[in-house]
Structure 1
Amino acid sequence: MSQTLTATPSRTLVEILPAGRVRTVAAVVLGAVVVAALGQVAVPLPFTPVPLSLGTLAVLGVGAALGPRLALASVGLMVLAGMSGLPVFAGATSGWAFASFGYVLGYLPAAALMGRLARSGGDRSVWRTFAGAAGASVLVYLVGAPWLAVYAHLGLAETLAAGVTPFLVGDAIKSAIVAGILPSLWAAQRFVAARH
Protein backbone atom coordinates (compact mmCIF):
# COMPACT_ATOMS: atom_id res chain seq x y z
CA MET A 1 0.00 0.00 0.00
CA SER A 2 1.55 3.32 -1.06
CA GLN A 3 1.06 6.62 0.62
CA THR A 4 1.30 10.03 -0.96
CA LEU A 5 3.13 12.52 1.19
CA THR A 6 2.07 16.12 0.78
CA ALA A 7 4.13 18.87 2.35
CA THR A 8 2.00 21.34 4.24
CA PRO A 9 2.92 24.86 3.15
CA SER A 10 4.09 27.16 5.91
CA ARG A 11 2.21 30.33 6.76
CA THR A 12 3.75 33.70 5.99
CA LEU A 13 3.83 36.57 8.45
CA VAL A 14 0.78 38.25 6.94
CA GLU A 15 -1.17 35.00 7.17
CA ILE A 16 -0.99 35.14 10.96
CA LEU A 17 -3.51 37.98 10.75
CA PRO A 18 -7.26 37.23 10.43
CA ALA A 19 -8.10 36.10 6.89
CA GLY A 20 -10.26 37.99 4.46
CA ARG A 21 -10.33 40.08 1.33
CA VAL A 22 -9.57 43.25 3.29
CA ARG A 23 -6.39 41.71 4.69
CA THR A 24 -5.29 40.64 1.21
CA VAL A 25 -5.89 44.03 -0.41
CA ALA A 26 -4.36 45.89 2.53
CA ALA A 27 -1.27 43.67 2.47
CA VAL A 28 -0.73 44.18 -1.27
CA VAL A 29 -1.18 47.96 -1.07
CA LEU A 30 0.88 48.33 2.11
CA GLY A 31 3.68 46.23 0.61
CA ALA A 32 3.77 48.48 -2.46
CA VAL A 33 3.87 51.57 -0.24
CA VAL A 34 6.71 50.13 1.86
CA VAL A 35 8.83 49.30 -1.20
CA ALA A 36 8.19 52.73 -2.71
CA ALA A 37 8.87 54.56 0.58
CA LEU A 38 12.12 52.74 1.40
CA GLY A 39 13.19 53.14 -2.22
CA GLN A 40 13.21 56.90 -1.63
CA VAL A 41 16.06 56.39 0.85
CA ALA A 42 18.58 56.62 -1.96
CA VAL A 43 22.13 57.85 -2.32
CA PRO A 44 23.26 58.84 -5.83
CA LEU A 45 26.75 57.63 -6.68
CA PRO A 46 28.95 59.80 -8.93
CA PHE A 47 30.33 56.89 -10.99
CA THR A 48 27.05 55.16 -11.88
CA PRO A 49 23.50 56.12 -12.88
CA VAL A 50 22.17 53.47 -10.46
CA PRO A 51 21.48 54.88 -6.98
CA LEU A 52 22.18 53.04 -3.76
CA SER A 53 18.76 52.60 -2.15
CA LEU A 54 16.86 50.61 0.45
CA GLY A 55 14.39 49.39 -2.16
CA THR A 56 15.93 45.92 -2.29
CA LEU A 57 15.74 45.63 1.50
CA ALA A 58 12.03 46.43 1.33
CA VAL A 59 11.47 43.90 -1.44
CA LEU A 60 13.16 41.16 0.58
CA GLY A 61 11.00 41.87 3.62
CA VAL A 62 7.74 42.32 1.72
CA GLY A 63 8.38 39.16 -0.28
CA ALA A 64 8.87 37.07 2.84
CA ALA A 65 5.96 38.66 4.72
CA LEU A 66 3.41 38.27 1.93
CA GLY A 67 4.35 35.00 0.22
CA PRO A 68 5.00 34.58 -3.51
CA ARG A 69 1.59 35.45 -4.95
CA LEU A 70 0.80 38.52 -2.86
CA ALA A 71 4.41 39.74 -2.99
CA LEU A 72 4.37 39.60 -6.78
CA ALA A 73 1.07 41.49 -6.80
CA SER A 74 2.40 44.07 -4.36
CA VAL A 75 5.65 44.78 -6.17
CA GLY A 76 3.81 44.62 -9.49
CA LEU A 77 1.42 47.29 -8.22
CA MET A 78 4.35 49.54 -7.31
CA VAL A 79 5.99 48.99 -10.72
CA LEU A 80 2.75 49.76 -12.57
CA ALA A 81 2.19 52.87 -10.44
CA GLY A 82 5.66 54.12 -11.32
CA MET A 83 5.28 53.34 -15.02
CA SER A 84 1.99 55.23 -15.05
CA GLY A 85 3.65 58.38 -13.76
CA LEU A 86 3.50 58.23 -9.97
CA PRO A 87 6.88 59.19 -8.46
CA VAL A 88 7.42 55.94 -6.57
CA PHE A 89 10.88 54.94 -7.81
CA ALA A 90 14.16 56.04 -6.18
CA GLY A 91 14.61 59.79 -6.24
CA ALA A 92 10.84 60.26 -6.74
CA THR A 93 11.14 59.24 -10.39
CA SER A 94 8.63 57.48 -12.61
CA GLY A 95 8.32 56.03 -16.09
CA TRP A 96 10.58 53.34 -17.51
CA ALA A 97 13.18 55.08 -19.69
CA PHE A 98 16.00 55.36 -17.17
CA ALA A 99 19.17 53.41 -16.46
CA SER A 100 18.07 51.68 -13.25
CA PHE A 101 14.58 50.60 -14.37
CA GLY A 102 15.84 47.06 -14.94
CA TYR A 103 16.62 46.79 -11.23
CA VAL A 104 13.02 47.78 -10.49
CA LEU A 105 11.85 44.98 -12.79
CA GLY A 106 14.25 42.66 -10.96
CA TYR A 107 12.28 43.31 -7.80
CA LEU A 108 9.50 41.11 -9.20
CA PRO A 109 11.36 37.76 -9.27
CA ALA A 110 13.22 38.74 -6.09
CA ALA A 111 9.95 39.24 -4.20
CA ALA A 112 8.57 35.98 -5.56
CA LEU A 113 11.69 34.07 -4.49
CA MET A 114 11.52 35.48 -0.97
CA GLY A 115 7.83 34.59 -0.89
CA ARG A 116 8.64 31.00 -1.85
CA LEU A 117 11.28 30.90 0.87
CA ALA A 118 8.67 31.95 3.42
CA ARG A 119 6.13 29.50 2.03
CA SER A 120 8.64 26.69 2.61
CA GLY A 121 9.33 27.91 6.17
CA GLY A 122 12.85 29.00 5.28
CA ASP A 123 12.39 32.43 6.84
CA ARG A 124 12.49 30.81 10.29
CA SER A 125 16.20 30.04 9.88
CA VAL A 126 18.91 32.71 9.90
CA TRP A 127 21.11 30.92 7.37
CA ARG A 128 18.32 29.93 5.01
CA THR A 129 16.93 33.44 5.13
CA PHE A 130 20.35 34.90 4.38
CA ALA A 131 20.90 32.52 1.47
CA GLY A 132 17.42 33.24 0.09
CA ALA A 133 17.88 36.99 0.41
CA ALA A 134 21.28 36.82 -1.29
CA GLY A 135 19.75 34.75 -4.09
CA ALA A 136 16.91 37.25 -4.47
CA SER A 137 19.46 40.08 -4.71
CA VAL A 138 21.23 38.18 -7.50
CA LEU A 139 17.92 38.07 -9.39
CA VAL A 140 17.75 41.86 -9.20
CA TYR A 141 21.22 42.04 -10.78
CA LEU A 142 20.33 39.49 -13.46
CA VAL A 143 17.51 41.73 -14.69
CA GLY A 144 18.97 45.13 -13.84
CA ALA A 145 22.50 44.82 -15.18
CA PRO A 146 21.52 43.83 -18.74
CA TRP A 147 19.00 46.69 -18.84
CA LEU A 148 21.74 49.09 -17.69
CA ALA A 149 24.14 47.73 -20.33
CA VAL A 150 21.66 48.24 -23.16
CA TYR A 151 20.33 51.58 -21.91
CA ALA A 152 23.75 53.14 -21.26
CA HIS A 153 25.62 51.30 -24.08
CA LEU A 154 28.09 49.67 -21.71
CA GLY A 155 30.35 46.68 -22.20
CA LEU A 156 30.50 43.79 -19.74
CA ALA A 157 33.32 45.20 -17.60
CA GLU A 158 31.70 48.65 -17.49
CA THR A 159 28.32 47.14 -16.59
CA LEU A 160 29.80 45.14 -13.72
CA ALA A 161 31.71 48.21 -12.47
CA ALA A 162 28.65 50.47 -12.65
CA GLY A 163 25.80 48.11 -11.90
CA VAL A 164 26.98 45.21 -9.76
CA THR A 165 30.28 45.60 -7.91
CA PRO A 166 29.45 48.83 -6.01
CA PHE A 167 26.32 47.23 -4.52
CA LEU A 168 27.56 43.80 -3.43
CA VAL A 169 28.57 44.77 0.11
CA GLY A 170 25.36 46.74 0.65
CA ASP A 171 23.22 43.86 -0.55
CA ALA A 172 25.09 41.44 1.69
CA ILE A 173 24.31 43.76 4.62
CA LYS A 174 20.64 43.93 3.58
CA SER A 175 20.52 40.14 3.42
CA ALA A 176 22.02 39.95 6.90
CA ILE A 177 19.46 42.44 8.23
CA VAL A 178 16.58 40.41 6.81
CA ALA A 179 18.17 37.21 8.14
CA GLY A 180 18.25 38.78 11.61
CA ILE A 181 14.74 40.23 11.56
CA LEU A 182 12.56 37.50 10.03
CA PRO A 183 13.56 34.58 12.28
CA SER A 184 13.31 36.93 15.28
CA LEU A 185 9.75 37.87 14.32
CA TRP A 186 8.82 34.20 14.06
CA ALA A 187 10.44 33.49 17.44
CA ALA A 188 8.42 36.34 18.96
CA GLN A 189 5.24 35.00 17.34
CA ARG A 190 5.86 31.54 18.77
CA PHE A 191 6.53 33.04 22.21
CA VAL A 192 3.26 35.01 22.15
CA ALA A 193 1.29 32.02 20.85
CA ALA A 194 2.68 29.78 23.58
CA ARG A 195 1.47 32.20 26.28
CA HIS A 196 -2.14 32.18 25.07
Structure 2
Amino acid sequence: MSALTSAAATPRPGAVLADLLPASSAARARVRDAALVVGGAALTGIAAQIALPIPGSPVPVTGQTFAALLVGAGLGAGRGFLALALYAVAGVAGMPWFAEASSGAGLPTLGYVMGMLLASVAVGTLARRGGDRGALRTAGTMAVGMALIYAVGVPYLALSTGMSLGEAVAAGLVPFLIGDALKAALAMGALPAAWKLAGRKG
Protein backbone atom coordinates (compact mmCIF):
# COMPACT_ATOMS: atom_id res chain seq x y z
CA MET A 1 0.00 0.00 0.00
CA SER A 2 1.43 3.39 -0.97
CA ALA A 3 1.80 6.30 1.41
CA LEU A 4 -0.97 8.20 -0.41
CA THR A 5 -3.40 5.29 -0.12
CA SER A 6 -2.54 4.65 3.52
CA ALA A 7 -2.94 8.30 4.45
CA ALA A 8 -6.28 8.51 2.67
CA ALA A 9 -7.64 5.50 4.55
CA THR A 10 -7.20 6.99 8.01
CA PRO A 11 -9.04 10.08 9.31
CA ARG A 12 -6.55 12.68 10.46
CA PRO A 13 -6.53 16.28 11.69
CA GLY A 14 -6.83 18.78 8.86
CA ALA A 15 -8.61 16.34 6.54
CA VAL A 16 -12.05 16.57 4.97
CA LEU A 17 -14.14 13.57 3.97
CA ALA A 18 -12.98 13.67 0.35
CA ASP A 19 -9.37 13.25 1.49
CA LEU A 20 -10.25 9.75 2.68
CA LEU A 21 -10.83 8.55 -0.88
CA PRO A 22 -7.70 6.60 -1.86
CA ALA A 23 -5.38 7.69 -4.64
CA SER A 24 -2.23 5.68 -5.27
CA SER A 25 -0.39 8.44 -7.14
CA ALA A 26 -0.41 12.19 -7.62
CA ALA A 27 -1.92 11.77 -11.11
CA ARG A 28 -4.77 9.66 -9.76
CA ALA A 29 -5.31 12.19 -6.99
CA ARG A 30 -5.81 14.88 -9.64
CA VAL A 31 -8.30 12.69 -11.49
CA ARG A 32 -10.10 12.00 -8.22
CA ASP A 33 -10.27 15.70 -7.42
CA ALA A 34 -11.57 16.57 -10.89
CA ALA A 35 -14.28 13.93 -10.55
CA LEU A 36 -15.22 15.30 -7.13
CA VAL A 37 -15.51 18.84 -8.50
CA VAL A 38 -17.77 17.74 -11.36
CA GLY A 39 -19.76 15.53 -9.00
CA GLY A 40 -20.19 18.37 -6.52
CA ALA A 41 -21.50 20.67 -9.24
CA ALA A 42 -23.89 17.98 -10.49
CA LEU A 43 -25.15 17.23 -6.98
CA THR A 44 -25.92 20.91 -6.44
CA GLY A 45 -27.71 21.11 -9.78
CA ILE A 46 -29.82 18.02 -9.04
CA ALA A 47 -30.69 19.25 -5.54
CA ALA A 48 -31.77 22.62 -6.98
CA GLN A 49 -34.58 20.82 -8.82
CA ILE A 50 -36.14 19.84 -5.49
CA ALA A 51 -38.07 23.09 -5.29
CA LEU A 52 -41.13 24.37 -3.45
CA PRO A 53 -42.41 27.79 -4.59
CA ILE A 54 -43.15 30.36 -1.88
CA PRO A 55 -46.23 32.54 -2.55
CA GLY A 56 -45.20 36.17 -2.97
CA SER A 57 -41.49 35.38 -3.23
CA PRO A 58 -39.33 34.84 -6.33
CA VAL A 59 -37.13 32.55 -4.26
CA PRO A 60 -38.27 28.91 -3.88
CA VAL A 61 -37.28 26.53 -1.13
CA THR A 62 -34.81 24.09 -2.68
CA GLY A 63 -32.21 21.51 -1.78
CA GLN A 64 -29.61 23.68 -3.50
CA THR A 65 -28.15 25.43 -0.46
CA PHE A 66 -27.98 22.21 1.54
CA ALA A 67 -26.13 20.46 -1.27
CA ALA A 68 -23.74 23.39 -1.71
CA LEU A 69 -22.86 23.38 1.98
CA LEU A 70 -22.34 19.62 1.99
CA VAL A 71 -20.08 19.99 -1.05
CA GLY A 72 -18.02 22.63 0.75
CA ALA A 73 -17.72 20.56 3.92
CA GLY A 74 -17.09 17.28 2.15
CA LEU A 75 -14.61 18.49 -0.47
CA GLY A 76 -12.83 21.27 1.43
CA ALA A 77 -12.45 24.92 0.51
CA GLY A 78 -10.52 24.54 -2.76
CA ARG A 79 -12.43 21.72 -4.39
CA GLY A 80 -15.72 23.00 -2.96
CA PHE A 81 -15.17 26.43 -4.48
CA LEU A 82 -14.29 24.91 -7.85
CA ALA A 83 -17.42 22.73 -7.77
CA LEU A 84 -19.68 25.69 -7.00
CA ALA A 85 -17.84 27.85 -9.54
CA LEU A 86 -18.46 25.20 -12.20
CA TYR A 87 -22.10 25.07 -11.17
CA ALA A 88 -22.43 28.87 -11.36
CA VAL A 89 -20.58 29.34 -14.65
CA ALA A 90 -22.42 26.52 -16.39
CA GLY A 91 -25.76 27.82 -15.13
CA VAL A 92 -25.08 31.36 -16.29
CA ALA A 93 -23.97 29.97 -19.67
CA GLY A 94 -27.33 28.20 -20.11
CA MET A 95 -27.18 24.87 -18.29
CA PRO A 96 -30.73 24.58 -16.85
CA TRP A 97 -29.74 23.47 -13.37
CA PHE A 98 -30.40 26.50 -11.23
CA ALA A 99 -33.57 26.30 -9.12
CA GLU A 100 -36.58 25.00 -11.07
CA ALA A 101 -34.49 24.25 -14.17
CA SER A 102 -33.65 27.93 -14.72
CA SER A 103 -30.42 29.39 -16.08
CA GLY A 104 -28.84 32.66 -17.17
CA ALA A 105 -27.31 35.77 -15.67
CA GLY A 106 -30.51 37.77 -15.23
CA LEU A 107 -32.11 35.78 -12.42
CA PRO A 108 -32.98 37.69 -9.23
CA THR A 109 -31.81 34.63 -7.27
CA LEU A 110 -28.30 34.63 -8.77
CA GLY A 111 -26.97 36.33 -5.65
CA TYR A 112 -27.68 33.19 -3.66
CA VAL A 113 -25.53 31.20 -6.07
CA MET A 114 -22.71 33.73 -5.67
CA GLY A 115 -23.13 33.48 -1.92
CA MET A 116 -22.70 29.73 -2.19
CA LEU A 117 -19.21 30.28 -3.61
CA LEU A 118 -18.20 32.18 -0.47
CA ALA A 119 -20.01 29.71 1.75
CA SER A 120 -18.21 26.73 0.22
CA VAL A 121 -14.85 28.30 1.08
CA ALA A 122 -15.87 29.16 4.63
CA VAL A 123 -17.50 25.80 5.31
CA GLY A 124 -14.61 23.91 3.73
CA THR A 125 -12.10 25.83 5.82
CA LEU A 126 -14.04 25.16 9.01
CA ALA A 127 -14.38 21.48 8.10
CA ARG A 128 -10.58 21.19 7.85
CA ARG A 129 -10.48 22.49 11.42
CA GLY A 130 -12.90 19.85 12.67
CA GLY A 131 -16.06 21.84 12.07
CA ASP A 132 -17.93 18.81 10.70
CA ARG A 133 -16.87 16.17 13.23
CA GLY A 134 -19.43 16.79 15.97
CA ALA A 135 -23.10 17.78 16.03
CA LEU A 136 -22.69 21.21 17.60
CA ARG A 137 -19.63 22.08 15.52
CA THR A 138 -21.47 21.03 12.37
CA ALA A 139 -24.45 23.19 13.30
CA GLY A 140 -22.15 26.18 13.72
CA THR A 141 -20.40 25.46 10.43
CA MET A 142 -23.70 25.24 8.56
CA ALA A 143 -24.94 28.44 10.22
CA VAL A 144 -21.86 30.33 9.01
CA GLY A 145 -22.37 29.03 5.48
CA MET A 146 -26.06 29.91 5.39
CA ALA A 147 -25.37 33.38 6.77
CA LEU A 148 -22.90 34.05 3.95
CA ILE A 149 -25.39 32.86 1.33
CA TYR A 150 -28.04 35.25 2.62
CA ALA A 151 -25.53 38.07 3.08
CA VAL A 152 -25.03 38.08 -0.70
CA GLY A 153 -28.37 36.73 -1.88
CA VAL A 154 -30.74 39.08 -0.07
CA PRO A 155 -29.09 42.39 -1.11
CA TYR A 156 -28.78 41.07 -4.68
CA LEU A 157 -32.47 40.19 -4.63
CA ALA A 158 -33.31 43.74 -3.52
CA LEU A 159 -31.16 45.33 -6.22
CA SER A 160 -32.39 43.09 -9.03
CA THR A 161 -36.09 43.41 -8.24
CA GLY A 162 -36.33 46.96 -6.90
CA MET A 163 -37.43 45.74 -3.47
CA SER A 164 -36.42 47.58 -0.36
CA LEU A 165 -33.95 45.71 1.84
CA GLY A 166 -36.74 45.01 4.32
CA GLU A 167 -38.94 43.57 1.59
CA ALA A 168 -36.06 41.43 0.33
CA VAL A 169 -35.48 40.09 3.84
CA ALA A 170 -39.18 39.28 4.17
CA ALA A 171 -39.27 37.54 0.77
CA GLY A 172 -35.81 36.03 0.57
CA LEU A 173 -34.82 35.18 4.13
CA VAL A 174 -37.63 34.88 6.66
CA PRO A 175 -39.63 32.13 4.85
CA PHE A 176 -36.56 29.89 4.78
CA LEU A 177 -35.45 29.94 8.41
CA ILE A 178 -37.39 26.86 9.48
CA GLY A 179 -36.18 24.91 6.46
CA ASP A 180 -32.62 25.99 7.14
CA ALA A 181 -32.90 24.74 10.70
CA LEU A 182 -34.02 21.36 9.36
CA LYS A 183 -31.12 21.30 6.89
CA ALA A 184 -28.69 22.06 9.70
CA ALA A 185 -30.20 19.22 11.74
CA LEU A 186 -29.71 16.82 8.83
CA ALA A 187 -26.09 17.89 8.49
CA MET A 188 -25.58 17.52 12.24
CA GLY A 189 -26.45 13.86 11.85
CA ALA A 190 -24.95 13.08 8.46
CA LEU A 191 -21.45 14.57 8.62
CA PRO A 192 -20.38 13.35 12.08
CA ALA A 193 -21.85 9.93 11.22
CA ALA A 194 -19.74 9.81 8.06
CA TRP A 195 -16.62 10.54 10.12
CA LYS A 196 -17.49 7.82 12.63
CA LEU A 197 -17.96 5.33 9.81
CA ALA A 198 -14.65 6.39 8.26
CA GLY A 199 -12.93 5.95 11.61
CA ARG A 200 -14.22 2.40 11.97
CA LYS A 201 -13.07 1.51 8.45
CA GLY A 202 -9.69 3.15 9.09
Matched, 1:122 2:134: no
Shifted more, 15-24 versus 81-90: the winner is 15-24
Q: CA offsets per residue over residues 133-183 of structure 1, 9 Å max, x none?
A: 011001010000011001111112211110110011111111111111000
Distance across 2 between alignment mates of 1:76 and 1:9: 27
Instruction: Give the counterpart of 1:56 among 43, 46, 65.
Output: 65
Deviation at 1:191, TM superposition (A): 1.3
One-letter amino acid of the structure 2 residue matched with residue 131 of structure 1: G
Stretches of 4+ aligned residues off by more than 4 angstroms: none
Deviation at 1:192, TM superposition (A): 1.6
Q: CA RMSD in A?
A: 1.1
Q: Any conservation in 1 of the 2:44–2:67 contact (CA below 8 Å)? A: yes
Q: The residue matched to 1:123 in structure 2 has which SS?
A: coil
Specify the alignment match of 2:193 in structure 1: 184
Number of residue-to-residue matches in the alignment: 186
TM-score by length of 2: 0.89
Distance across 2 between alignment mates of 1:44 and 1:95: 19
Specify the alignment match of 1:47 in structure 2: 56
Matched, 1:18 2:22: yes
Distance across 2 between alignment mates of 1:143 and 1:63: 17
Distance across 2 between alignment mates of 1:122 and 1:151: 34
Alignment of 1:60-99 (within 5 A): 60-99=69-108
Distance across 2 between alignment mates of 1:12 and 1:34: 18
Distance across 1 between alignment mates of 2:34 and 2:166: 43
Q: Which runs of 5+ in 1 are unaligned?
A: 1-7
Deviation at 1:9, TM superposition (A): 5.2
Q: The residue matched to 1:94 in structure 2 has which SS?
A: coil
Percent identical pairs in the alignment equals: 42
Distance across 1 between alignment mates of 2:186 and 2:121: 19
Q: CA offsets per residue over residues 32-62 of structure 1, 9 Å max, x none?
A: 0000100110111121001110001101111
